[in-house]
Chain A
Amino acid sequence: GAVVSQHPSWVICKSGTSVKIECRSLDFQATTMFWYRQFPKQSLMLMATSNEGSKATYEQGVEKDKFLINHASLTLSTLTVTSAHPEDSSFYICSARDYRGDYGYTFGSGTRLTVV
């Protein structure tokens, strides 16, 4: 089945630094990947849609200069949290759609970001 690998699984960084999170589709090509943010005991909030070879599409209210998304290949999308602050601490999850099957979305294992 479709596998999405996300790294790192957790990261602690100092306020003001940048953090990069990687999302890879291991056994399929993903022209589109999605990035979500999840607060404790809440649902997944779509941040942006990552499109291979073009600019990401951000949801309303998401700062595109803070959350930089790059989808340079058919198997890799990255999310960079720039100049991180404690309020950026959250659980970030990516997902990708394997078009070989039928509409199925596979999620990565998530990244717990803590900004201190």
Chain B
Amino acid sequence: GENVEQHPSTLSVQEGDSAVIKCTYSDSASNYFPWYKQELGKGPQLIIDIRSNVGEKKDQRIAVTLNKTAKHFSLHITETQPEDSAVYFCAASPAGKSTFGDGTTLTVKP
């Protein structure tokens, strides 16, 4: 089955700096790569996703890049704000259920 590794497990940045979270996956059949933000006591919320036929996608301060050859994808958050502080999960999906990374706790210091 699919195996997803996510790094780093914790990340602390100063407000206004950029944050990068990286994930690798093992199953070449995976074709959908979503990123989720989870705040304490709440369910994960989809913040951005990318499919295997696209190399990069951007939505305002958030961007995701995908390298299919190397089987890795990354989340980039620019101009971070304190409200970006949360746990971020990547996931990889072949057709069907998703496998999640272990999560990254992002802290943005004002």
Contact = CB atoms under 8 A, between A and B. Distances in A.
Interface residues of A, number: 21
A108 B51 contact: no
B51 A44 contact: no
Contacts of A104: 34, 46, 49
B43 interface: yes
Q: Is the interface of B mostly helix, strand, loop or mixed?
A: strand
A106 interface: yes
A105 to B, nearest CB: 6
Interface of B: 32, 34, 36, 41-46, 49, 51, 89, 93, 97-103, 105
Interface of A: 6, 34, 41-44, 46, 49, 91, 93, 95, 102-110, 112
22 contacts: A41-B105, A43-B100, A43-B102, A43-B103, A44-B44, A46-B97, A46-B99, A49-B97, A91-B41, A95-B43, A103-B49, A103-B51, A103-B93, A104-B34, A105-B93, A105-B98, A106-B46, A107-B44, A107-B46, A109-B42, A109-B43, A112-B41
